Structures are given as structure tokens and as C-alpha cells.
């Protein structure tokens, strides 16, 4: 499990209420025993958790006033405490993240045992639980007990993109702080400065990132623009493929990890663009049978891609799901209902 430091990670711009709340924590040297940071994935919630752990344990307290947006000045970054936390070796900064998509009760039990000991050196011990919604209900209940009676000097920071999946009893124990998606212009300048994208590619990339700078960087690193061309090409070619070629393609796609979601997103975008074009051309007077057929076909394709996008996020057999999609796209058939699938 990796905790990021400000040396290699993007820190979110903190503004509005959330920013003011953080500044107040740092100024007063007081922080609630349980915080829940919410907001979409990839906006830097864990990075902020690390900044808090650094700030509260730094041996050179920050010069006041603290600007919430200048998070990398919350701590000195040079004292022994900062260096140990920065290298992710601090025994009093405990980090938990899902394993195989779940946070199990054993993990929380181990944590509780660790918390039974006095902190080694930290004044503020931090427990960071990433993707807290992945706790099983028994794990959640075990955590709740310790949130109700937290050990001294111990502070919990939970992060999630789905607060509604957490036990209400856990929610009620936490102060909830919401992170907004990053402004597009901030991400665009980051893409231009750090990834050398030209302004138009950066502008196109930011549309896919939906406010997440981490997603945007991933897209830039994976050269999504090449993928986009590939996706358009694949869609046009799909009904010329033999069953065997479709199988090979499904296998190739199934091996892609995060890329696959981006690629499916692109299939969807390409289909939608075409659908818009078709419907823009079709006035009631000029709607031909051919247009209606084309629109119908695009809608079916859209449904296939959407259903596939849903299934690849579950535990379904990805290769099989993709094969069904390619088959459906090639045959221009309507997808089955979810139940039949």
C-alpha cells in the first residue's frame, strides 16, 4: 500500500468550505478523531490524508497563516518525522486499502491490535483507510467499535467515492469533507506542463478525465489519442472479422486493465457522435428507412457497449463479456436484457 507524498503526487486545489476547514485544523493543531474524505476517484484524497499526517507530526510547525491551497507548506518536508512519513516507513501512520477489492475483518482486527500499543514516536497517530466503502459489513462493525472509543492520540481518515455504501453508524462518527472535481483549466495546464501535450490534445483529454487529474495523467501516459483511433477502426471493422478473430480480439481486450474502461468509453463516445450526426440530418421530411435503420443500429451498439462497461466492473468473465459484445456488434443484434445476460 502506497501513501503519496507531495514530491510525486498532485495535490488538489482546496477552496471553499473544505479548504477553510483544513486551514483551521492546521492553525489550531486540532483535528477530529474521524474524518471522511469524499469525492470521485483520482482527485487526491489520499494525498491530502498524507499531508495531514505530515503537518500534524512535523517537528517544524508551519508558519502561519496557513494557506489551505499551499498544502506542501503545511510541513517542512525535511525533519526526521517528515522524512519517515514521506518514505512510508512511519510506524504510527497506518494505511489500509482493499485487497482483492475488499477490506476484510482480519485487516481491521490486526489494526485494532496495533492500536493497542502506545505510539512509537508520533504525537498524532493516523490511520488512513482508503476506499473505505470496500469494508465488509463485519469489518465495518469492528471499525465502528474502535471509532466509538478511539485510543488516545489516534486519528482516522477514511476516503471514499461512495459514502452511501458505508454503514450509517460509521458516517455519523465522521466529520465529512467533500472534494470537488478539479477545474478543467488546472488539469489542462498540468497536462501541458507535465506531459507536454499540445493545447488541443490537452483540451480533448480533459473531457475524458471528468475532473480527475490522476485519470488525466493516465490518459496522457497511455496516449489515449492512439487508442481513440484504434477504437474507431475496430468498430468499423467488427463485422468483417471471423468468429476466430473476434475471439482473439476479445482476449486481447480482456487483458487490458484500466485501459479497457477507457477504450469502452471511447466506443461509446464514437457511437454517440455518429448517432448525433444521423439524427441531426434526419428531419421528419427527410427521414428515410435507411436513416431509421442506421439509428436503430447505433442505439443497439450503444446498448451493447454500455452493458459491457457495466459488466467489466463486476466479477464477470471479461473475455466472455467482450466476446458477446463483439458478436452482438458484428451481427447488429439487440442485446439481451440484463437478466438474460
Residue in the structure block whose three cell numbers are 485544523: 25
Part of the chain binding Zn ion (CB under 5 A), chosen from 2-10, 50-58, 85-93, 297-305: 50-58
Q: Which is nearer to Zn ion, 79 or 232 (CB)?
A: 79
Backbone Cα Rg of the chain: 24
Backbone angles phi, psi at 324, to 5 degrees: -60, -40
Among 58, 143, 158, 305, binds Zn ion (CB under 5 A): 58
Q: Closest approach of Cβ 37 to Zn ion, in Å?
A: 22
Q: Closest approach of Cβ 125 to Zn ion, in Å?
A: 16
Provide the β-strand partners of residue 178: 38
Q: Closest approach of Cβ 85 to Zn ion, in Å?
A: 9
Part of the chain binding Zn ion (CB under 5 A), chosen from 55-63, 152-160, 184-192, 316-324: 55-63
Total residues interacting with Zn ion, rule: CB under 5 A: 5
What proportions of the chain, in percent to the nearest 5, are helix, strand and coil?
55, 10, 35
**Can you list the pairs that 248-253 forms with residues at least 24 positions away whose Cβ atoms lie under 8 Å?**
249/322, 249/326, 250/319, 250/320, 250/322, 250/323, 250/325, 250/326, 251/319, 253/318, 253/322
What is the CA 201 to chain-centroid distance, rounded? 22
Q: Which is nearer to Zn ion, 91 or 199 (CB)?
A: 91
- With 0-12 CB in 10 A as exposed, 13-18 as middle and 19+ as buried, what is 249? middle
Q: Which is nearer to Zn ion, 48 or 214 (CB)?
A: 48
Q: Which is nearer to Zn ion, 56 or 304 (CB)?
A: 56
CA distance 31 to 49: 12
Q: Which is nearer to Zn ion, 123 or 331 (CB)?
A: 123
Determine how β-strand 154-160 pairs with β-strand 34-38.
parallel
Backbone angles phi, psi at 117, to 5 degrees: -85, 155
Q: Pattern of binders to Zn ion over 291-330, x per CB under 5 A?
A: ----------------------------------------
CA distance 120 to 105: 25
Part of the chain binding Zn ion (CB under 5 A), chosen from 54-62, 182-190, 225-233, 282-290: 54-62
Q: Closest approach of Cβ 90 to Zn ion, in Å?
A: 12
CB neighbour list of residue 238: distance below 8 Å, 6 or more residues apart: 246, 326, 329, 330
Part of the chain binding Zn ion (CB under 5 A), chosen from 56-64, 96-104, 200-208, 253-261: 56-64
Q: Which is nearer to Zn ion, 57 or 262 (CB)?
A: 57
Q: Closest approach of Cβ 128 to Zn ion, in Å?
A: 18
Residue 129 found at the interface with Zn ion (CB under 5 A): no
Q: Are 26 and 66 in contact, with CB atoms under 8 Å apart?
A: yes
Q: Which is nearer to Zn ion, 85 or 307 (CB)?
A: 85
Site for Zn ion in 63-82 (CB under 5 A): 75-76, 79, 82
- By CB under 5 A, name the binding residues for Zn ion: 58, 75-76, 79, 82
Amino acid at each position: 500500500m502506497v501513501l503519496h507524498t507531495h514530491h510525486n503526487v498532485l495535490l488538489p486545489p482546496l477552496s471553499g468550505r473544505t479548504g477553510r476547514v483544513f486551514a483551521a485544523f492546521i492553525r489550531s493543531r486540532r483535528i477530529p478523531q474521524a474524518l471522511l474524505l469524499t469525492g470521485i476517484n483520482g482527485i487526491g484524497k489520499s494525498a491530502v490524508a498524507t499531508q495531514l499526517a505530515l503537518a500534524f507530526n512535523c517537528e517544524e510547525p508551519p508558519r502561519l497563516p496557513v494557506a489551505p491551497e499551499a498544502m506542501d507548506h503545511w510541513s517542512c518536508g525535511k525533519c526526521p518525522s517528515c522524512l519517515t512519513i514521506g518514505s512510508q516507513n512511519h510506524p504510527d501512520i497506518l494505511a489500509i486499502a482493499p485487497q482483492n477489492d475488499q477490506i476484510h475483518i482480519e485487516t481491521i482486527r490486526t489494526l485494532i491490535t496495533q492500536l493497542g500499543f502506545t505510539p512509537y514516536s508520533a504525537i498524532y497517530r493516523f490511520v488512513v483507510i482508503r476506499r473505505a466503502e470496500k469494508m465488509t459489513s463485519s469489518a465495518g462493525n469492528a471499525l465502528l467499535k474502535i471509532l466509538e472509543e478511539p485510543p488516545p492520540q489516534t486519528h482516522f481518515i477514511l476516503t471514499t467515492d461512495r459514502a452511501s455504501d458505508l454503514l450509517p453508524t460509521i458516517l455519523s462518527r465522521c466529520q465529512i469533507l467533500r472534494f470537488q472535481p478539479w477545474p478543467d483549466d488546472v488539469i489542462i495546464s498540468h497536462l501541458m506542463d507535465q506531459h507536454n501535450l499540445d493545447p488541443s490534445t490537452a483540451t480533448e483529454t480533459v473531457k475524458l478525465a471528468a475532473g480527475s487529474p490522476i485519470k488525466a495523467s493516465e490518459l496522457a501516459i497511455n496516449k489515449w489519442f492512439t487508442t481513440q483511433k484504434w477504437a474507431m477502426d475496430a468498430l468499423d471493422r467488427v463485422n468483417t472479422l471471423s468468429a476466430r478473430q473476434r475471439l482473439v480480439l476479445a482476449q486481447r481486450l480482456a487483458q487490458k486493465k484500466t485501459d479497457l474502461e477507457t477504450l469502452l468509453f471511447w466506443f461509446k463516445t464514437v457511437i454517440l457522435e455518429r448517432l448525433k450526426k444521423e439524427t441531426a440530418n434526419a428531419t421528419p421530411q427527410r427521414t428515410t428507412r435507411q436513416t431509421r435503420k442506421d439509428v436503430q443500429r447505433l442505439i443497439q451498439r450503444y446498448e451493447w457497449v454500455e452493458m459491457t462497461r457495466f459488466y467489466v466492473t463486476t466479477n464477470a468473465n471479461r473475455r466472455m463479456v467482450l466476446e458477446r459484445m463483439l458478436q452482438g456488434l458484428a451481427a447488429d443484434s439487440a442485446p439481451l436484457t440484463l437478466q438474460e445476460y
